[in-house]
């Protein structure tokens, strides 16, 4: 992950590099609210067009009022900039009703501009879009469902995770819709979903997406700590978003259950939902199931890294992209 200093430097470089009229929205979200404030103040200082933030994955926000206060604190740090809340509950566990969020911020946070909506509920998205005759800007954030959102009335804009390498097809959906060419719009939407299927099969956009960018000539470098090397051990509901994130990108999420009660219902549910890869009793002593499992993961990780280095060495020697 980027450090605060690197995020500041990156924002400055974007402002320096973009042409006149290009709207730069700086993401300022963080698990540390003080860091959010610092990044928001900096974004306003350097002349960004707007700011945005997702809810922190830890600690998990579980009530609308908590989310409002989180957004309010950030907005006060950059009162001159429009603020967009980034709704992506699959990553942070903030499965909260967005219509209620709009009602709560209405009249309370003056620079709350709208929501980047990245969730499966097209019904809720449309309800938010129609709130007070479209008072808030509902940016569409799910590349898989652009066409059905257009059928409901559309959005003024969107932010897509695959736009960097599949932008022509995504824009093509909108262009075909505007021309009344529904069949072409369907074809492009289906192709866009096929792209999503590919990156999901290769540990998501952070891993698979970066590899696609490298294939088209933009080498963004390796992930700082590859997700495949991460181990997350969790024993409560607040851990679920982080476990899901690590597990989705090829890491090792371990669910813990109470050894004395032997109640495995929660870890069984998390296993069925692909939130964890393993589950063991909550015994942290040497020689326990957990101890042996973690050591086995470490041994496997070390072996994988040796093989990866050898693979990249062979690729470099032959001129073949790894």
Active site members: 86, 116
- State how far the Cα of 275 lies from the Cα of 39, in Å rounded to an integer: 31
- State how far the Cα of 151 lies from the Cα of 259, in Å rounded to an integer: 52
3-class state of residue 233 by DSSP: strand
Strand order in the sheet with 112-117: 25-27, 50-54, 83-87, 112-117, 137-140
Q: CA dist 292 to 3, 280, 296, Å?
A: 33, 10, 6
Q: Which residues contact 169 (CB under 8 A, 6 or more apart)?
A: 188, 191, 192, 195
Closest CA to 98 of 88, 108, 110, 111: 88
Q: CA dist 173 to 40, 114, 115, 155, 168, Å?
A: 34, 23, 22, 13, 9
Degrees to nearest 5, angle at CA 296 with 292 and 302:
145
| Exposure on the CB side of residue 286, measured as CA atoms within 13 A | 0
CB distance 145 to 155 below 8 Å: no
């Amino acid at each position: 992950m980027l450090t605060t200093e690197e995020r500041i430097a990156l924002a400055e470089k974007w402002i320096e590099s973009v042409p006149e009229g290009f709207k730069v929205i700086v993401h300022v979200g963080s698990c540390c609210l003080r860091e959010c404030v610092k990044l928001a103040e900096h974004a306003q200082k350097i002349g960004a067009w707007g700011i945005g933030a997702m809810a922190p994955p830890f600690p998990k926000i579980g009530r609308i009022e908590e989310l409002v206060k989180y957004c309010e604190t950030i907005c006060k740090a950059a009162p001159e900039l429009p603020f967009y809340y980034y709704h992506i509950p699959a990553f942070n566990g903030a499965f909260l009703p967005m219509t209620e969020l709009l009602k709560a911020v209405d009249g309370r946070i003056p620079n709350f501009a709208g929501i980047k909506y990245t969730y499966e509920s097209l019904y809720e998205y449309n309800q938010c879009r129609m709130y007070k005759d479209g008072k808030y800007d509902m940016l569409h954030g799910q590349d898989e469902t652009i066409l059905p959102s257009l059928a409901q009335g559309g959005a003024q804009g969107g932010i897509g995770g695959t736009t960097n390498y599949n932008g022509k097809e995504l824009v093509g959906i909108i262009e075909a819709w505007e021309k009344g060419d529904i069949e072409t719009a369907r074809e492009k939407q289906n192709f866009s979903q096929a792209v999503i299927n590919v990156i999901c099969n290769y540990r998501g956009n952070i891993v698979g997406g970066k590899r696609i960018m490298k294939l088209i000539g933009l080498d963004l470098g390796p992930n700082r700590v590859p997700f495949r090397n991460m181990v997350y051990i969790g024993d409560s509901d607040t851990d679920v978003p982080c476990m899901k994130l690590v597990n989705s990108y090829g890491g090792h999420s371990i669910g813990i259950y109470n050894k004395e009660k032997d109640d495995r219902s929660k870890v069984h549910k998390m296993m069925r939902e692909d939130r964890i890869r393993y589950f063991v009793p909550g015994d942290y002593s040497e020689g326990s199931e957990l101890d042996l499992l973690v050591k086995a993961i470490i041994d496997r990780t070390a072996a994988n890294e040796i093989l990866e280095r050898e693979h990249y060495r062979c690729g470099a020697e032959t001129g073949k992209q790894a």
